[in-house]
Amino acid sequence: MGTTLWIVDINVDGLWETPEIRQAANFLREGEVIAFPTETVYGLGANATDSEAVKKIFEAKGRPSDNPLIVHIADPKQINELVDEVTPIGKQLIEAFSPGPISFIFKKKEGVFSDLVTAGLDTVAIRIPEHPVAYALLKAAAVPVAAPSANRSGRPSPTSAQHVMDDLNGLIKGVIDGGETGYGLESTVVDCTGEVPVILRPGSITADEIKEVIGAVIVDPALKNETEAPRAPGMKYRHYAPDHPLYLVDGSLELLQSFVNQFKRDGKRVGVIATRENLAKIDADAMIVMGSETDLSSIAHSLYDSLRKSDVLDVDVLLSLCFPEEGVGQAIMNRLRKAAGNRVLTESDLFG
């Protein structure tokens, strides 16, 4: 299949009426899949009410069928046609954070979505993105759009149109290029079916911000404890993996250097992913920069790009320091642990 690349100016007025967006929206309505930028990462969209269309998402990504998709809409008012009941906490959170990088889980209305979207669950995740291209496409398509991240399953999520093309060129109908995404990590997923919101996947809207609105918040304990099954089915999979095995170092810059030296003594070539400030302080075979020490959101923004760039390095292993698990640091460490397959090194792992 030929993949069309539409390059759009995200600042034009009436974006939803431009020929590029109209053509992409028509493809969506005709049952094709289209990748588009959102404020989190690039999404791979299909009409959520059309099973044949949604099936193409799973095929293009190689995504396991038990992993449900998030449904995207342009206008919060549409939500009443899609879910059984917008709970009081759901209403408050939508008012506080939408449009934005957060997905809300409600009991679904029966008979609206393809069963593939919800993977057989009786709930559905809904998001109202704020990115101008996502908004324009959803408005022009005028159907709810199921959209996971636009990467091959298991790979780091795409934060640019080039990342999407690297993974899916020839497998999907088109990609709308609206530049680099802003936040760089997938949306916060919050179960709003009860009286207290439960974070099933951490993201750029943090637990503290949600707590400020509702007064209480629970973080799915399975996110930290590997023996429990997480409530978001997708969280159990290894994800975001770079080509070279990644190890996280829980400790100081000096400890990181000790592990670099240890791997080198073993005859391994070592790459290090580090913040701008730490780059010059480390002696390794190759280095990749990832954001700035002074701003966790800059690390979130460049995390997936840094992981993807590391694939071209001529190294045997990759190392990165852990980051503080406060604010968006929770989401950063959640993604890094998955990218590392939970390999975390501490001082006790050093030989002699």
Pairing of strands 34-36, 43-47: antiparallel
The entry of Mg ion, ligand AMP, none near residue 126 (CB within 5 to 8 angstroms by kind) is none
Would you tell me how many other CB atoms lie within 10 Å of the CB of residue 195? 10
Q: Report 197-216 residues binding ligand AMP (CB under 6 A).
A: 200-201
Q: Which CB atom, from 15 or from 232, has the smaller least distance to Mg ion?
A: 232
Q: Which CB atom, from 117 or from 315, has the smaller least distance to ligand AMP?
A: 117
Q: At closest approach, how far in Å is the CB of 129 from ligand AMP?
A: 12
Which residue among 20, 186, 220, 305 contacts ligand AMP (CB under 6 A)? 186
Binding-site size for ligand AMP (CB under 6 A) equals: 21
For residue 139, which of 259, 299, 228, 16 has the smallest C-alpha distance? 16
Which residue among 31, 76, 233, 327 contacts ligand AMP (CB under 6 A)? 233
Q: Which CB atom, from 149 or from 160, has the smaller least distance to Mg ion?
A: 149
Which residue among 21, 70, 82, 176 contacts ligand AMP (CB under 6 A)? 70
Which residue among 23, 67, 78, 297 contacts ligand AMP (CB under 6 A)? 67
Q: Report 82-121 residues binding ligand AMP (CB under 6 A).
A: 105, 118, 121
Phi, psi of 13 (to 5 degrees): -70, 150
Give contact residues for Mg ion (rule: CB under 5 A): 149
Q: Tokens representing 72? A: 């995207």
Single-letter code of the amino acid located at 247: Y
The entry of Mg ion, ligand AMP, none near residue 321 (CB within 5 to 8 angstroms by kind) is none
Please say whether the beta carbons of 101 and 183 come within 8 A. Answer: yes
* Contact characters 6-45, ligand AMP, x per CB under 6 A: ----------------------------------------
Binding site for ligand AMP (CB under 6 A): 67-70, 105, 118, 121, 123-125, 148-149, 186, 189, 200-201, 231-235
